[in-house]
Amino acid sequence: MPAQCANCGFIFESTDEVGQPCPRCGSLDRRIHSHQDAKAHGFLKLKKKGASSKHKKARADYELQQGERIGKDGKLVSIERVIDRDSEHYTEVVKDKDGNVIANKDERLSEHK
């Protein structure tokens, strides 16, 4: 973690020197610089329901779900899911962070569990 003297700006090369008086001005005050990376992961859900829908009130005719989530094993996975109630079809592809397929379903919606 980079550190510098808060008084004169001297940059310390090693963490062992940080606790010692500044070699330039003798000050013990330090300015410590820290950096952290953060990543955001999103998940998108799109639903389509026609005016003449034959499905239950709360159900959409077509749903698309796509993005990243924490999987059953606690690790980040990528999911692409399509639920097409008009065609009675369900597809889902789940991949790990390296792109390896964990689950690949392509079945009739009535057979999906």
The answer to whether 61 and 48 have CB atoms below 8 angstroms apart is yes
CA distance linking residue 85 with residue 30, whole number of Å: 63
Angle at 81 between CA 79 and CA 38, to 5 degrees: 25
Domain ranges of the chain: 3-32, 43-111
Could you list the pLDDT tens digit for every one of the 113 residues in the chain?
578 999 999 998 888 888 889 999 999 999 987 778 777 788 999 998 877 666 666 678 899 999 998 888 888 999 999 999 989 999 999 999 899 999 999 999 988 87
State how beta strands 76-84 and 89-95 pair.
Answer: antiparallel
Residue 74: left if φ>0, alpha if ψ -120 to 50, beta else—which one? left
CA distance linking residue 45 with residue 7, whole number of Å: 53
